[in-house]
A and B are shown apart, each in its own frame.
Chain A
Amino acid sequence: MAGFLLRRLVSRGVLVVVAGSLAYLLAAAALDPRAGFEARVPRPPDAVIDARLSALNLDDRTPLAERFLVWGGGVVRGDFGRTREGEPVNAELWPRLGVSLRLVVPGGVAGSVLGVLLGAYAATRRGRGADRFITGGACVLLAVPVFVLAVLLQTAAATVNDAMGVRVFVWVGEGESAGIVGQVRHAVLPTATITLLQLAVYARYQRGLMLDVLHADFVRTARAKGLRRRTALLRHGLRTALVPMAAYFAYAAGPLVIGGMLTEKVFGWHGMGEWLADSIDRGDVNAVAAIDCVAACAVLPAGLVSDVLNGLLDPRVRPGAAA
């Protein structure tokens, strides 16, 4: 298993390196940091702008390849360069990554677990009220874009607050100064947003997978042994239907990152998503490239977790299983 994981890690690592380089090249080619300096009032002299840009490795008159090598050299040493304001990117990056993870991880985990359970349940109650409710709910949730969902939740929370006369829900920022309780209160709505988003995706997919095994011959075999329908479905059906879910986990990571970005923006969390939007606006190449790299790296552990899950769940792909 270890060797297998190592090989997967290497092959995915190569992908991430290429993808990260591509991200820098795209950002460096597309963004225009010079415009930001030139738009300052009063406009600094050209020589100053040039000096500033080349100090930050942002000078568009230096060949792209050269800038890339400088940037790449830094990244290899763990340094993502400086923002347009001259601050180290790293100093900003890690705290913001922490914020984003605090948002995305609990919501993602809760959403996927709940989604799998709901989807499986809906499949076993196929065509009945519970199934219709879950399927319909998932369908509507999927149709509502994340940021709309977040805004709707805010509106609903505001109504609740008004009705109760106390501020039950708070949502602007992370509430760092409000102690543990305050932080949790601040986290409820954003986490709920992410959870709902994930839940809908997973429920829908798991329901389809579960329907495939509902009438599978091996479930019938299990029932013929004397297992009740429910037990047979749980121990044999759901267990088998979880296998393709593992592979799906990796693919679901991308949308999760984006969902997190938009949710941050709505709830005023100072995470990676907010930073990205601002940095693109400012033409801050180094910051944008760093964010893209981190996002690409985030897909890497997701893929790895997916591989491990797959290996644990499915004996057929386990290398070195007794032949």
Chain B
Amino acid sequence: MTRRGAAGSVLLAAVVALAFAGPLVSPWSWDETDFTAFGQGPSGRHWLGTTQSGRDVFALTLRGAQKSLVIGLLAALLSSGLAAVAGTVAGFAGGPLDRALMWGADLLLVLPPLLVVAVLAPGGGWPLLAPLLAAFMWMLPARAVRASTLSVRERGHVLAARFLGVAAPRVLVRHVLPQVASLLVADASLAAGAAIAAEGGLSFLGLGVRPPDVSLGALIADGRGAAATWPSGAAAGLLALIVLAVNLLGDGLRDALDPLRGGR
């Protein structure tokens, strides 16, 4: 593991701990309103102050961070899974199936994903956001997986296994998947970063997570125009920190798992 990767994982662990353990020690819950404090700065009572409507910023921010983390993780898992299946199948099978899958990927690439997600997202609640984001993130990784499957398919040990009489599914699982797995693992964490940023953007536009629930993007949007920069500052900082941690981890994983890129 590279230094960058290590820094990323430590940072991510810290953020996760904060997001999920923080609410346990916080005196206020995210959906409580303190009618005695509107738009206050940080104090012993409200660690990060309160919003204009008297809600505790610390609790709100952590609630938003939880959302971001869960959505990012889910979207990354789903999109990498899709990419793995579509990419290896297209690369290994070739022919019409390959062409159909890649045409579909190209089609989705033409539509800027956020636009479509923005149209569809308001229909469901936030749990729908993760699969929606994933549905528009798998194309580029799938192309990469396909390309590497194509090259792995011609590699000596895969050819050898096929000519020695090993059955195709076994060849795929035993010889092809391990070779593209490193690519997938690294990509999954980068996809998580992208999904978190996208969710933030959607919520910022008011199209992602809807009130009364909160997310980091929505908090940042709320904080604009308000006199106090506390609420949006904390949310923006945390959001940037999460994406940074996930990106660093992804870079580190890619460097560590891909021998060709080692030592960058």
Consider the complex of A and B and state whether they touch directly, i.e. have CB atoms less than 8 Å apart: yes
Chain A positions near chain B (C-beta within 8 angstroms): 12, 15-16, 18-19, 22-23, 26-27, 30-31, 139-140, 142-148, 151-152, 155, 208, 211, 251, 254, 257-258, 261-262, 265-266, 276-277, 280-281, 288, 291-292, 295-296, 299-300
A151 B140 Cβ-Cβ under 8 A = no
Docked Cα-Cα span, A40 to B120, in Å, equals: 23
Q: How far is the CB of B203 from chain A (nearest CB, A)?
A: 10
Known: A26-B119, A292-B115. A16 touches B220 (CB 8 A): no
Which residues on B sit within 8 Å (CB–CB) of A254?
109, 112-113
Q: In the complex, which residues 194-214 of chain B have their Cβ closer than 8 Å to any Cβ of chain A?
A: 197, 200-201, 204-207
B118 A280 Cβ-Cβ under 8 A = yes
Q: How far is the CB of B119 from chain A (nearest CB, A)?
A: 5
B247 A143 Cβ-Cβ under 8 A = yes
Sample 22 A-B pairs with CB under 8 A, ordered by A number. Answer: A23-B111, A26-B119, A27-B119, A30-B120, A30-B123, A139-B247, A140-B240, A140-B244, A142-B247, A144-B236, A145-B204, A147-B200, A147-B220, A148-B220, A148-B239, A151-B220, A151-B232, A152-B236, A251-B109, A258-B114, A291-B115, A299-B110
Which residues on B sit within 8 Å (CB–CB) of A27?
119
Which residues on B sit within 8 Å (CB–CB) of A276?
115, 118
B248 at the interface (CB under 8 A from A): yes
B119 A288 Cβ-Cβ under 8 A = yes
Q: How far is the CB of A150 from chain B (nearest CB, A)?
A: 10
> Residue B115 contacts which of A12, A147, A295 (CB distance < 8 angstroms)?
A295
Q: Which of B112, B229, B241 has the most CB of A within 10 A?
A: B112
Q: How far is the CB of B236 from chain A (nearest CB, A)?
A: 4
Shortest Cβ distance from B196 into A: residue? A145
Shortest Cβ distance from A143 into B: residue? B244
Q: How far is the CB of B147 from chain A (nearest CB, A)?
A: 12
> Residue A148 contacts which of B122, B236, B264 (CB distance < 8 angstroms)?
B236
Known: A147-B200, A151-B232, A299-B110. A26 touches B224 (CB 8 A): no
Docked Cα-Cα span, A139 to B4, in Å, equals: 11
Interface mask (B227-264 → A, CB under 8 Å = 1, otherwise 0): 00100100010011101100110010000000001001
Known: A19-B111, A277-B118. A151 touches B224 (CB 8 A): yes
Which residues on B sit within 8 Å (CB–CB) of A152?
236
B217 at the interface (CB under 8 A from A): yes
Docked Cα-Cα span, A266 to B122, in Å, equals: 21
Q: How far is the CB of A95 from chain B (nearest CB, A)?
A: 19
B167 at the interface (CB under 8 A from A): no
Chain B positions near chain A (C-beta within 8 angstroms): 106-107, 109-116, 118-120, 122-123, 140, 193, 197, 200-201, 204-207, 217, 220-221, 224, 229, 232, 236, 239-241, 243-244, 247-248, 251, 261, 264
Shortest Cβ distance from A12 into B: residue? B110
B264 A208 Cβ-Cβ under 8 A = yes
Which residues on A sit within 8 Å (CB–CB) of B236?
144, 148, 151-152
B240 A144 Cβ-Cβ under 8 A = yes
Please name the 8 residue pairs, one residue from A and one from B, whose CB atoms are nearest each other, closest first: A143-B244, A143-B243, A19-B110, A148-B236, A277-B205, A145-B197, A258-B114, A144-B240
Shortest Cβ distance from A19 into B: residue? B110
Which residues on B sit within 8 Å (CB–CB) of A277?
118, 205-207
Shortest Cβ distance from B241 into A: residue? A143
Which residues on A sit within 8 Å (CB–CB) of B113?
254, 258
Which residues on B sit within 8 Å (CB–CB) of A251?
109, 140
Which residues on A sit within 8 Å (CB–CB) of B122?
30, 280
Known: A26-B116, A30-B119, A288-B119. A281 touches B206 (CB 8 A): yes
> Residue B229 contacts which of A139, A142, A155 (CB distance < 8 angstroms)?
A155
Docked Cα-Cα span, A148 to B118, in Å, equals: 19
B232 A143 Cβ-Cβ under 8 A = no
Known: A15-B107, A139-B248, A148-B240. A299 touches B204 (CB 8 A): no
Docked Cα-Cα span, A142 to B111, in Å, equals: 22
Which residues on B sit within 8 Å (CB–CB) of A288?
119
Shortest Cβ distance from B224 into A: residue? A151
> Residue B204 contacts which of A18, A31, A257, A265 (CB distance < 8 angstroms)?
A265
Shortest Cβ distance from A31 into B: residue? B119
> Residue B111 contacts which of A22, A139, A147 (CB distance < 8 angstroms)?
A22
A143 B107 Cβ-Cβ under 8 A = no
Shortest Cβ distance from B203 into A: residue? A147
Q: How far is the CB of B181 from chain A (nearest CB, A)?
A: 21
